[in-house]
Amino acid sequence: MNPFSTLTELSAALARREVSALELAELYLARIARANAKLNAFVAVDDEIARRHARACDERRASGLTLGPLDGVPIALKDLLQIEGRVTTVGSAPWRDRRSTITAPVVERLLAAGMVPLGKTQMVEFAFGTWGTNPHLGTPWNPWDLATHRVPGGSSSGSGVAVAAGLAPAAIGSDTGGSVRIPAALNGITGLKTTVGLISTQGAFPLSTTLDTIGPMARSVEDAALLTAAMTDARAPAVAAPAADISGVRIALIPEDQYPIAVEPAVSAALQAAAQTLRALGARVAERRFPFDFGELSRRNGRLTAAEAYAVHRAYIEHEKLPIGPGVRARVLGGKAVGAADYIDALAYRSKACARWREWMRDTDALLTPAVPIAACPVDAVDETVAPLASFTRAGNFLDACGLALPAGFSDNGLPVGVQLLGRPFDEATLLRIGRAFQHVTDWHRRTPDLTEFSA
Protein backbone atom coordinates (compact mmCIF):
# COMPACT_ATOMS: atom_id res chain seq x y z
CA MET A 1 0.00 0.00 0.00
CA ASN A 2 1.02 3.59 -0.61
CA PRO A 3 1.65 5.27 2.78
CA PHE A 4 0.25 8.49 1.32
CA SER A 5 -3.14 6.88 0.66
CA THR A 6 -6.23 8.58 2.02
CA LEU A 7 -8.35 7.05 4.78
CA THR A 8 -11.08 6.32 2.25
CA GLU A 9 -8.61 4.47 0.03
CA LEU A 10 -7.25 2.45 2.94
CA SER A 11 -10.79 1.65 4.10
CA ALA A 12 -11.71 0.40 0.63
CA ALA A 13 -8.55 -1.75 0.46
CA LEU A 14 -9.39 -3.30 3.82
CA ALA A 15 -12.95 -4.00 2.69
CA ARG A 16 -11.68 -5.71 -0.47
CA ARG A 17 -9.22 -7.79 1.62
CA GLU A 18 -6.31 -6.39 -0.40
CA VAL A 19 -4.51 -5.59 2.83
CA SER A 20 -4.98 -6.46 6.49
CA ALA A 21 -5.14 -4.02 9.37
CA LEU A 22 -1.97 -5.58 10.78
CA GLU A 23 -0.16 -5.04 7.48
CA LEU A 24 -1.24 -1.39 7.48
CA ALA A 25 -0.05 -0.94 11.06
CA GLU A 26 3.30 -2.51 10.21
CA LEU A 27 3.65 -0.24 7.15
CA TYR A 28 3.33 2.93 9.24
CA LEU A 29 5.28 1.62 12.24
CA ALA A 30 8.18 0.81 9.91
CA ARG A 31 8.08 4.29 8.37
CA ILE A 32 8.04 5.85 11.84
CA ALA A 33 11.04 3.72 12.85
CA ARG A 34 13.00 4.91 9.80
CA ALA A 35 12.04 8.59 9.77
CA ASN A 36 11.13 9.74 13.26
CA ALA A 37 14.70 10.25 14.43
CA LYS A 38 14.97 12.99 11.81
CA LEU A 39 11.40 14.32 11.66
CA ASN A 40 10.54 14.06 15.39
CA ALA A 41 6.83 13.83 14.62
CA PHE A 42 6.07 11.34 17.40
CA VAL A 43 6.91 11.71 21.07
CA ALA A 44 5.78 8.15 21.84
CA VAL A 45 4.98 5.07 19.75
CA ASP A 46 3.69 1.79 21.20
CA ASP A 47 4.12 -0.85 18.53
CA GLU A 48 2.49 -3.64 20.50
CA ILE A 49 -0.64 -1.66 21.35
CA ALA A 50 -1.02 -0.78 17.68
CA ARG A 51 -0.58 -4.41 16.67
CA ARG A 52 -3.15 -5.60 19.23
CA HIS A 53 -5.76 -3.17 17.90
CA ALA A 54 -4.95 -4.17 14.32
CA ARG A 55 -5.22 -7.89 15.05
CA ALA A 56 -8.59 -7.32 16.74
CA CYS A 57 -9.82 -5.61 13.58
CA ASP A 58 -8.62 -8.47 11.40
CA GLU A 59 -10.35 -10.98 13.67
CA ARG A 60 -13.61 -9.01 13.47
CA ARG A 61 -13.41 -8.81 9.70
CA ALA A 62 -12.64 -12.53 9.40
CA SER A 63 -15.83 -13.25 11.33
CA GLY A 64 -17.85 -10.96 9.07
CA LEU A 65 -18.03 -7.99 11.42
CA THR A 66 -16.72 -4.43 11.09
CA LEU A 67 -17.19 -1.31 13.18
CA GLY A 68 -17.53 0.98 10.16
CA PRO A 69 -15.37 2.62 7.49
CA LEU A 70 -12.53 3.52 9.89
CA ASP A 71 -12.17 0.02 11.34
CA GLY A 72 -8.52 -1.01 11.04
CA VAL A 73 -7.21 2.33 9.78
CA PRO A 74 -4.25 3.85 11.71
CA ILE A 75 -4.45 7.21 13.49
CA ALA A 76 -1.98 9.47 15.34
CA LEU A 77 -3.00 11.46 18.42
CA LYS A 78 -1.73 14.84 19.61
CA ASP A 79 -0.05 14.46 22.99
CA LEU A 80 -2.64 16.44 24.92
CA LEU A 81 -5.29 13.76 24.37
CA GLN A 82 -5.24 11.71 27.53
CA ILE A 83 -5.31 7.93 27.64
CA GLU A 84 -5.62 6.27 31.04
CA GLY A 85 -2.32 4.84 32.22
CA ARG A 86 -0.33 6.41 29.36
CA VAL A 87 2.06 9.33 29.52
CA THR A 88 0.64 12.66 28.33
CA THR A 89 3.40 15.28 28.17
CA VAL A 90 1.37 18.14 26.65
CA GLY A 91 4.69 19.01 25.02
CA SER A 92 6.36 19.79 28.35
CA ALA A 93 9.64 18.24 29.48
CA PRO A 94 8.73 18.32 33.20
CA TRP A 95 5.75 16.08 32.36
CA ARG A 96 7.72 13.31 30.64
CA ASP A 97 6.53 10.85 33.30
CA ARG A 98 3.03 12.26 33.89
CA ARG A 99 0.51 9.42 33.49
CA SER A 100 -3.12 10.14 32.73
CA THR A 101 -5.91 8.84 34.95
CA ILE A 102 -8.66 9.34 32.35
CA THR A 103 -9.22 8.72 28.66
CA ALA A 104 -10.52 11.53 26.48
CA PRO A 105 -13.97 10.78 24.99
CA VAL A 106 -12.63 11.68 21.54
CA VAL A 107 -10.06 8.89 21.87
CA GLU A 108 -12.76 6.51 23.07
CA ARG A 109 -14.87 7.32 20.02
CA LEU A 110 -11.99 6.74 17.60
CA LEU A 111 -11.16 3.42 19.24
CA ALA A 112 -14.84 2.46 19.20
CA ALA A 113 -14.76 3.10 15.45
CA GLY A 114 -11.96 0.54 15.24
CA MET A 115 -9.07 2.91 14.53
CA VAL A 116 -5.55 1.71 15.29
CA PRO A 117 -3.57 4.16 17.49
CA LEU A 118 0.03 4.50 16.33
CA GLY A 119 1.17 6.83 19.09
CA LYS A 120 1.29 10.38 20.42
CA THR A 121 2.57 13.29 18.32
CA GLN A 122 4.89 16.10 19.33
CA MET A 123 3.41 19.53 20.01
CA VAL A 124 4.23 23.03 21.17
CA GLU A 125 4.52 23.09 24.95
CA PHE A 126 1.08 23.51 26.57
CA ALA A 127 -0.29 23.99 23.00
CA PHE A 128 0.63 27.68 23.25
CA GLY A 129 2.47 28.63 20.08
CA THR A 130 2.02 28.76 16.33
CA TRP A 131 5.55 28.28 14.96
CA GLY A 132 5.65 24.65 16.12
CA THR A 133 8.88 25.02 18.07
CA ASN A 134 9.69 23.11 21.25
CA PRO A 135 13.13 23.83 22.76
CA HIS A 136 13.14 20.96 25.25
CA LEU A 137 11.36 18.06 23.51
CA GLY A 138 12.51 19.06 20.04
CA THR A 139 10.88 20.84 17.11
CA PRO A 140 9.43 18.54 14.44
CA TRP A 141 11.05 18.89 11.02
CA ASN A 142 8.88 20.13 8.18
CA PRO A 143 9.30 17.26 5.66
CA TRP A 144 9.17 19.50 2.57
CA ASP A 145 12.79 20.54 3.08
CA LEU A 146 15.10 17.90 4.52
CA ALA A 147 18.18 20.10 4.09
CA THR A 148 16.95 23.05 6.19
CA HIS A 149 15.10 22.68 9.48
CA ARG A 150 11.91 24.64 8.80
CA VAL A 151 8.98 25.29 11.10
CA PRO A 152 6.15 22.75 11.02
CA GLY A 153 3.55 25.17 12.38
CA GLY A 154 1.86 24.73 15.72
CA SER A 155 0.72 23.84 18.06
CA SER A 156 -0.24 20.51 16.42
CA SER A 157 3.24 20.33 14.92
CA GLY A 158 3.87 16.58 15.10
CA SER A 159 0.42 15.76 13.78
CA GLY A 160 1.00 17.89 10.70
CA VAL A 161 4.42 16.40 10.03
CA ALA A 162 3.23 12.82 10.62
CA VAL A 163 0.50 13.08 7.98
CA ALA A 164 2.58 15.05 5.47
CA ALA A 165 5.45 12.57 5.72
CA GLY A 166 3.26 9.49 5.41
CA LEU A 167 4.01 8.32 8.96
CA ALA A 168 0.26 8.21 9.58
CA PRO A 169 -2.68 8.54 7.19
CA ALA A 170 -4.37 11.00 9.55
CA ALA A 171 -3.94 12.62 12.95
CA ILE A 172 -5.92 14.52 15.54
CA GLY A 173 -4.99 18.04 16.57
CA SER A 174 -6.40 20.85 18.66
CA ASP A 175 -7.09 24.43 17.58
CA THR A 176 -7.30 27.45 19.90
CA GLY A 177 -5.88 30.09 17.58
CA GLY A 178 -5.04 28.12 14.45
CA SER A 179 -3.24 25.05 15.81
CA VAL A 180 -4.86 22.65 13.32
CA ARG A 181 -5.02 24.99 10.33
CA ILE A 182 -1.49 26.46 10.54
CA PRO A 183 0.43 23.15 10.53
CA ALA A 184 -2.00 21.81 7.93
CA ALA A 185 -1.18 24.74 5.63
CA LEU A 186 2.59 24.64 6.19
CA ASN A 187 2.72 20.87 5.63
CA GLY A 188 0.40 20.70 2.62
CA ILE A 189 -2.45 18.73 4.20
CA THR A 190 -6.12 19.31 5.08
CA GLY A 191 -7.15 20.50 8.55
CA LEU A 192 -10.58 21.22 10.03
CA LYS A 193 -11.13 23.57 12.97
CA THR A 194 -14.48 22.55 14.43
CA THR A 195 -17.03 24.67 16.27
CA VAL A 196 -16.75 24.74 20.06
CA GLY A 197 -19.04 21.97 21.34
CA LEU A 198 -19.08 19.84 18.21
CA ILE A 199 -16.36 17.51 19.54
CA SER A 200 -15.83 17.03 23.27
CA THR A 201 -12.66 18.54 24.70
CA GLN A 202 -13.02 16.61 27.94
CA GLY A 203 -9.79 14.75 28.61
CA ALA A 204 -7.84 17.02 26.25
CA PHE A 205 -5.47 19.02 28.43
CA PRO A 206 -6.72 22.62 28.21
CA LEU A 207 -5.07 25.78 26.98
CA SER A 208 -8.19 27.95 26.85
CA THR A 209 -11.43 26.46 28.12
CA THR A 210 -13.36 29.06 26.10
CA LEU A 211 -11.58 28.65 22.76
CA ASP A 212 -10.18 25.10 22.61
CA THR A 213 -11.45 22.77 19.88
CA ILE A 214 -10.47 19.34 18.55
CA GLY A 215 -10.14 18.68 14.82
CA PRO A 216 -8.86 16.23 12.20
CA MET A 217 -5.71 16.58 10.11
CA ALA A 218 -5.75 14.39 7.01
CA ARG A 219 -4.87 14.13 3.34
CA SER A 220 -8.33 15.00 2.02
CA VAL A 221 -11.59 16.72 2.87
CA GLU A 222 -13.39 13.37 2.66
CA ASP A 223 -11.04 12.00 5.30
CA ALA A 224 -11.61 15.03 7.52
CA ALA A 225 -15.37 14.49 7.23
CA LEU A 226 -15.05 10.81 8.16
CA LEU A 227 -13.00 11.59 11.25
CA THR A 228 -15.25 14.46 12.31
CA ALA A 229 -18.33 12.26 12.07
CA ALA A 230 -16.61 9.64 14.23
CA MET A 231 -15.57 12.18 16.89
CA THR A 232 -18.70 14.33 17.00
CA ASP A 233 -20.40 14.64 20.36
CA ALA A 234 -23.75 12.84 20.40
CA ARG A 235 -25.49 16.07 21.44
CA ALA A 236 -24.02 18.10 18.56
CA PRO A 237 -25.30 18.41 14.97
CA ALA A 238 -24.24 15.52 12.75
CA VAL A 239 -21.65 16.09 10.03
CA ALA A 240 -22.66 14.30 6.84
CA ALA A 241 -20.36 13.19 4.04
CA PRO A 242 -19.79 16.23 1.80
CA ALA A 243 -21.36 16.49 -1.63
CA ALA A 244 -19.33 17.95 -4.50
CA ASP A 245 -21.81 20.40 -6.08
CA ILE A 246 -21.29 24.00 -4.97
CA SER A 247 -23.37 25.82 -7.58
CA GLY A 248 -24.70 29.05 -6.10
CA VAL A 249 -22.67 28.81 -2.90
CA ARG A 250 -21.78 32.33 -1.72
CA ILE A 251 -18.10 32.86 -0.86
CA ALA A 252 -16.73 36.19 0.34
CA LEU A 253 -13.21 37.52 -0.20
CA ILE A 254 -11.91 40.31 2.01
CA PRO A 255 -10.19 43.22 0.21
CA GLU A 256 -6.41 43.20 0.58
CA ASP A 257 -6.53 46.55 2.36
CA GLN A 258 -8.18 44.69 5.25
CA TYR A 259 -5.40 42.11 5.54
CA PRO A 260 -3.79 42.20 9.00
CA ILE A 261 -0.37 41.47 7.51
CA ALA A 262 1.33 41.44 4.11
CA VAL A 263 1.29 38.02 2.47
CA GLU A 264 3.95 36.44 0.28
CA PRO A 265 3.30 36.51 -3.49
CA ALA A 266 2.84 32.73 -3.57
CA VAL A 267 0.12 32.99 -0.93
CA SER A 268 -1.68 35.73 -2.83
CA ALA A 269 -1.43 33.75 -6.08
CA ALA A 270 -2.77 30.61 -4.40
CA LEU A 271 -5.74 32.52 -2.98
CA GLN A 272 -6.62 34.09 -6.34
CA ALA A 273 -6.28 30.75 -8.11
CA ALA A 274 -8.49 29.07 -5.51
CA ALA A 275 -11.12 31.79 -5.92
CA GLN A 276 -11.08 31.32 -9.68
CA THR A 277 -11.40 27.55 -9.32
CA LEU A 278 -14.40 27.95 -7.04
CA ARG A 279 -16.01 30.37 -9.50
CA ALA A 280 -15.52 27.83 -12.28
CA LEU A 281 -17.32 25.29 -10.10
CA GLY A 282 -20.36 27.55 -9.88
CA ALA A 283 -19.75 29.34 -6.59
CA ARG A 284 -20.54 33.05 -6.34
CA VAL A 285 -17.20 34.50 -5.20
CA ALA A 286 -17.04 38.23 -4.57
CA GLU A 287 -15.17 40.77 -2.45
CA ARG A 288 -17.00 41.90 0.65
CA ARG A 289 -15.71 44.16 3.40
CA PHE A 290 -15.18 42.34 6.67
CA PRO A 291 -16.98 43.87 9.66
CA PHE A 292 -14.00 43.33 11.98
CA ASP A 293 -10.32 44.16 12.19
CA PHE A 294 -8.42 40.86 11.88
CA GLY A 295 -5.54 42.27 13.90
CA GLU A 296 -7.79 43.37 16.74
CA LEU A 297 -9.53 39.97 16.86
CA SER A 298 -6.14 38.27 16.91
CA ARG A 299 -4.95 40.38 19.84
CA ARG A 300 -8.16 39.76 21.78
CA ASN A 301 -7.92 36.03 21.09
CA GLY A 302 -4.34 35.98 22.34
CA ARG A 303 -5.20 37.91 25.49
CA LEU A 304 -8.14 35.66 26.36
CA THR A 305 -6.01 32.57 25.71
CA ALA A 306 -3.22 33.88 27.93
CA ALA A 307 -5.62 34.66 30.79
CA GLU A 308 -7.09 31.16 30.75
CA ALA A 309 -3.68 29.52 30.24
CA TYR A 310 -2.35 31.33 33.30
CA ALA A 311 -5.29 30.04 35.33
CA VAL A 312 -4.36 26.49 34.27
CA HIS A 313 -0.59 26.76 34.83
CA ARG A 314 -0.20 29.42 37.52
CA ALA A 315 0.94 26.96 40.21
CA TYR A 316 4.29 26.28 38.50
CA ILE A 317 4.76 28.56 35.50
CA GLU A 318 7.03 30.95 37.43
CA HIS A 319 9.30 28.19 38.79
CA GLU A 320 12.51 29.06 36.97
CA LYS A 321 14.12 25.69 37.70
CA LEU A 322 11.47 23.88 35.65
CA PRO A 323 12.61 23.38 32.03
CA ILE A 324 9.73 25.26 30.43
CA GLY A 325 10.38 26.96 27.10
CA PRO A 326 11.00 30.71 27.56
CA GLY A 327 8.59 31.70 24.78
CA VAL A 328 5.75 29.64 26.21
CA ARG A 329 6.51 30.79 29.75
CA ALA A 330 6.34 34.43 28.64
CA ARG A 331 3.05 33.89 26.80
CA VAL A 332 1.42 32.20 29.78
CA LEU A 333 2.69 34.87 32.16
CA GLY A 334 1.13 37.45 29.87
CA GLY A 335 -2.21 36.33 31.28
CA LYS A 336 -1.21 37.12 34.85
CA ALA A 337 -2.02 40.80 34.37
CA VAL A 338 -5.58 40.14 33.16
CA GLY A 339 -7.84 40.95 36.11
CA ALA A 340 -11.27 39.54 36.83
CA ALA A 341 -13.10 42.60 35.45
CA ASP A 342 -10.95 42.57 32.29
CA TYR A 343 -11.66 38.87 31.82
CA ILE A 344 -15.41 39.33 32.19
CA ASP A 345 -15.28 42.25 29.74
CA ALA A 346 -13.35 40.09 27.27
CA LEU A 347 -15.99 37.36 27.37
CA ALA A 348 -18.77 39.92 26.94
CA TYR A 349 -17.01 41.50 23.95
CA ARG A 350 -16.55 38.08 22.38
CA SER A 351 -20.22 37.23 22.84
CA LYS A 352 -21.23 40.40 20.97
CA ALA A 353 -18.62 39.76 18.25
CA CYS A 354 -19.91 36.21 17.74
CA ALA A 355 -23.45 37.53 17.32
CA ARG A 356 -22.24 40.12 14.80
CA TRP A 357 -20.36 37.39 12.88
CA ARG A 358 -23.48 35.23 12.68
CA GLU A 359 -25.46 38.20 11.41
CA TRP A 360 -22.84 39.04 8.76
CA MET A 361 -22.81 35.42 7.60
CA ARG A 362 -26.56 35.44 6.89
CA ASP A 363 -25.64 36.62 3.38
CA THR A 364 -22.53 34.47 2.99
CA ASP A 365 -21.82 30.74 3.13
CA ALA A 366 -18.06 30.99 3.65
CA LEU A 367 -15.22 33.47 3.91
CA LEU A 368 -12.09 32.66 1.88
CA THR A 369 -8.73 33.95 3.20
CA PRO A 370 -5.10 32.92 3.24
CA ALA A 371 -4.48 30.23 5.86
CA VAL A 372 -1.01 31.58 6.66
CA PRO A 373 0.74 34.65 5.25
CA ILE A 374 4.06 32.91 4.51
CA ALA A 375 5.50 29.51 3.71
CA ALA A 376 7.56 27.70 6.35
CA CYS A 377 10.61 29.68 7.43
CA PRO A 378 13.82 28.21 8.93
CA VAL A 379 13.59 27.43 12.62
CA ASP A 380 16.55 29.68 13.36
CA ALA A 381 14.63 32.65 11.91
CA VAL A 382 11.76 32.34 14.40
CA ASP A 383 10.88 35.27 16.66
CA GLU A 384 8.92 33.83 19.59
CA THR A 385 7.60 37.28 20.59
CA VAL A 386 5.33 37.54 17.53
CA ALA A 387 2.75 35.25 15.92
CA PRO A 388 2.38 36.17 12.23
CA LEU A 389 1.26 32.66 11.32
CA ALA A 390 -1.97 33.18 13.29
CA SER A 391 -2.84 36.46 11.56
CA PHE A 392 -5.78 34.95 9.65
CA THR A 393 -6.68 32.02 11.90
CA ARG A 394 -7.22 33.47 15.37
CA ALA A 395 -10.27 35.41 14.20
CA GLY A 396 -12.04 32.13 13.52
CA ASN A 397 -11.59 30.97 17.10
CA PHE A 398 -12.61 34.30 18.60
CA LEU A 399 -15.78 34.41 16.47
CA ASP A 400 -16.61 30.73 17.13
CA ALA A 401 -16.45 29.99 13.41
CA CYS A 402 -15.60 26.65 11.92
CA GLY A 403 -12.57 26.69 9.65
CA LEU A 404 -11.05 24.52 6.94
CA ALA A 405 -7.44 24.75 5.74
CA LEU A 406 -6.78 23.43 2.23
CA PRO A 407 -3.46 22.98 0.41
CA ALA A 408 -3.55 25.37 -2.55
CA GLY A 409 -0.09 25.83 -4.01
CA PHE A 410 3.64 26.13 -3.44
CA SER A 411 6.20 28.86 -2.91
CA ASP A 412 9.01 29.41 -5.39
CA ASN A 413 11.23 27.10 -3.32
CA GLY A 414 8.70 24.28 -3.23
CA LEU A 415 7.06 24.81 0.15
CA PRO A 416 3.29 24.37 0.60
CA VAL A 417 0.91 27.29 1.05
CA GLY A 418 -2.77 27.05 1.83
CA VAL A 419 -6.10 28.82 1.92
CA GLN A 420 -8.69 28.95 4.67
CA LEU A 421 -12.48 28.83 4.63
CA LEU A 422 -14.36 30.21 7.65
CA GLY A 423 -18.01 29.38 8.21
CA ARG A 424 -20.94 29.75 10.56
CA PRO A 425 -20.94 27.88 13.87
CA PHE A 426 -21.86 24.22 13.36
CA ASP A 427 -21.84 24.61 9.57
CA GLU A 428 -18.84 22.38 8.99
CA ALA A 429 -20.89 20.57 6.33
CA THR A 430 -20.83 23.62 4.05
CA LEU A 431 -17.07 24.09 4.35
CA LEU A 432 -16.50 20.39 3.73
CA ARG A 433 -18.76 20.58 0.68
CA ILE A 434 -16.76 23.49 -0.75
CA GLY A 435 -13.48 21.83 0.12
CA ARG A 436 -14.43 18.53 -1.48
CA ALA A 437 -15.46 20.30 -4.69
CA PHE A 438 -12.13 22.15 -4.73
CA GLN A 439 -10.12 18.97 -4.20
CA HIS A 440 -12.17 17.14 -6.84
CA VAL A 441 -10.66 19.38 -9.53
CA THR A 442 -7.22 20.13 -8.01
CA ASP A 443 -4.41 17.86 -6.89
CA TRP A 444 -2.60 19.99 -4.29
CA HIS A 445 -3.70 17.56 -1.56
CA ARG A 446 -2.16 14.71 -3.58
CA ARG A 447 1.32 16.25 -3.67
CA THR A 448 3.86 14.65 -1.34
CA PRO A 449 7.39 15.56 -0.23
CA ASP A 450 10.40 13.64 -1.52
CA LEU A 451 11.24 11.28 1.33
CA THR A 452 13.06 8.59 -0.63
CA GLU A 453 15.83 8.55 1.97
CA PHE A 454 13.33 6.97 4.37
CA SER A 455 12.10 4.32 1.92
CA ALA A 456 12.60 0.65 2.78
Residues serving a catalytic function are 78, 155, 179
Rounded to whole angstroms, the Cα distance separating 375 from 262 reads 13
Rounded to whole angstroms, the Cα distance separating 435 from 243 reads 10
Rounded to whole angstroms, the Cα distance separating 163 from 235 reads 29
Phi, psi of 407 (to 5 degrees): -65, 135
E runs forming strands in 288-396: 366-370
E runs forming strands in 310-393: 366-370
H-helix or E-strand spanning residue 416: strand 416-423
**Helix 340-360 × helix 294-313 angle, to 10°:** 140
How many residues comprise the chain? 456
Spatial contact of 143 and 449, defined as CB atoms under 8 Å apart: yes
Angle at 141 between CA 140 and CA 143, to 5 degrees: 130
Rounded to whole angstroms, the Cα distance separating 123 from 42 reads 9
Strand pairing category for 214-218 and 284-287: unpaired
* Nearest CA-CA partner of 284 in 243, 255, 248, 253: 248
Spatial contact of 347 and 303, defined as CB atoms under 8 Å apart: no
